[in-house]
Structure 1
Amino acid sequence: MSKAIILDNQFEKASEIDLPQRYDGINEHNLYLYVKSYLASLRANSASAKNRGEVSGGGKKPWSQKGGGRARAGSITSPVFVGGGVSHGPSNNRNYDLKINKKQKKLALEYALKQKTENAKLYITDSIAVASSKTKDAQAIVKTLGERSVLFVCQMSDEPTFLAFRNLKNCYLVDANELNAYLVAAFHSVVMEKAVFDEIIQSK
Structure 2
Amino acid sequence: MVDCVVRNWQGEEVGQATLDLRVAKEESAAHVVHRALVMQMTNARQGTASTKTRAEVSGGGRKPWRQKGTGRARAGSNRSPLWRGGGVTFGPKPRDYNIKMNRKERRLALRTAFQSRTEDLIVVQDFADQLTRPKTKDLVEAITRWGIAPESKVLLIVPEIEQTVYLSARNIPTLRLISATRLNVYDVLNADKIVTTDTALAKIQEVYSD
TM over 0.5: yes
Structure 2 match to 1:22: 22
Inter-CA distance 28–128: structure 2 relative to 1 (3 Å threshold): farther
Aligned length: 201
Asked if structure 2 preserves the Cα contact closer than 8 Å seen for 1:131 and 1:161, the reply is no
CA distance in 2, matches of 1:54, 1:185: 44
Correspondence for 1:125: 124
Which ranges of 4 or more aligned residues in structure 1 deviate by more than 6 Å?
none
When residues 128 and 151 of structure 1 are mapped into structure 2, their CA distance, relative to the original with a 3 A threshold, is: farther
Which 10-residue stretch deviates more, 97-106 or 8-17? 8-17
Secondary structure of the 2:117 match is helix
Aligned to 1:73: 75
CA distance in 2, matches of 1:8, 1:135: 18
State the secondary structure of the residue aligned to 2:166: helix
The match for 2:54 is 52
Give the fraction of aligned pairs with identical amino acids, expressed as a percent: 34
**Over residues 120-179 of structure 1, what are the superposed CA-to-partner deviations in whole Å (9 max), with x where a residue is unaligned?**
211223314222211100111111123222111111121111110110112111122322
Partner of 2:104: 103
Q: Residues 79, 158 of structure 1: CA spacing in aligned structure 2 closer, same or farther, 3 A cutoff?
A: same
TM-score by length of 2: 0.87
**TM-score normalised to structure 1 length:** 0.89
2:2 match: 2
Q: Distance in 2 between matches of 1:95 and 1:12?
A: 50
**Are positions 1:175 and 2:175 aligned together?**
no
- Contact 1:142–1:150 under 8 Å retained in 2: no
> Which residue number corresponds to residue 143 of structure 1?
144
Structure 1 position 61 matched with structure 2 position 60: no
Moved more, 122-131 or 160-169: 122-131
Letter paired with 2:90:
H
Deviation at 1:107, TM superposition (A): 1.2
Taking only aligned residues, the RMSD between alpha carbons, in angstroms, comes to 1.9
- SS of the equivalent of 2:86 reads coil
My pick for the range that moved more, 129-138 or 62-71, is 129-138
Tell me which of 166, 169, 191 is aligned to 2:170: 166
